[in-house]
Structure 1
Amino acid sequence: MTLYTSMPLELVLSGMNEQPGPYVDIVIGDIKMQVEPMSPGIGKIVRLLECPLDAYLNPQYSPGTMIAYSAPQA
């Protein structure tokens, strides 16, 4: 792959080796999703894991949306 850019290579590749996370898997209704906790009880949706196909069209569950949730029961 060839990348043509006027940006410094360090800036283009910054964060490439960093691990994302930690993520929490939660279930709301019939939708299982992966959430990145932002504060207690509030998180940002990373991706939908298991859900009906029409849930992907619902803007309420799009990645990057902030959502309130309760802590998973152990």
Structure 2
Amino acid sequence: MTIYSTMPLELVYDGMNNQPGPYVSVTVGEVQLQIEAVSPGIGRIVRLLDGPLDAYLRPELSPGTLVAFGLPPS
């Protein structure tokens, strides 16, 4: 692979070997989501794993959105 860039190689390859954070699979209604934990009980949606086709068009389920997950409050 050849990379042509005016940027320094340190910036181009920065973070290349970093592994993504731990992902959690949760089900919200009939949609299964893969989320990355941001803080206890809050996660950022990484992708939709399974669900009806119209779920992919819902803005509240778009990647990058913060959602609450975990045990419901008692």
On whether the aligned pair clears a TM of 0.5, the verdict is yes
- The reply on whether 1:52 has 2:52 as its aligned counterpart is yes
Aligned equivalent of 1:61: 61
How many residues are matched?
71
**Amino acid in structure 2 at the alignment position of 1:13:** Y
Aligned equivalent of 1:7: 7
Give the TM-score, by structure 1 length. 0.87
**Amino acid in structure 1 at the alignment position of 2:4:** Y
Give the TM-score, by structure 2 length. 0.87
Aligned-pair CA distance for 1:2? 3.9
Aligned equivalent of 1:26: 26
Percent identity, aligned pairs only, is: 61
SS at 2:20's partner residue?
coil
**Distance of 1:2 and 1:62 partners within structure 2:** 33
**What is the Cα-based RMSD across aligned positions, in Å?**
1.2
Deviation by residue 1:18-66 (Cα, 9 ceiling, x = unmatched)? 1102010000100101000111111000000011111111110000000
**Distance of 2:43 and 2:4 partners within structure 1:** 36
Unaligned runs of 5+ in 1: none
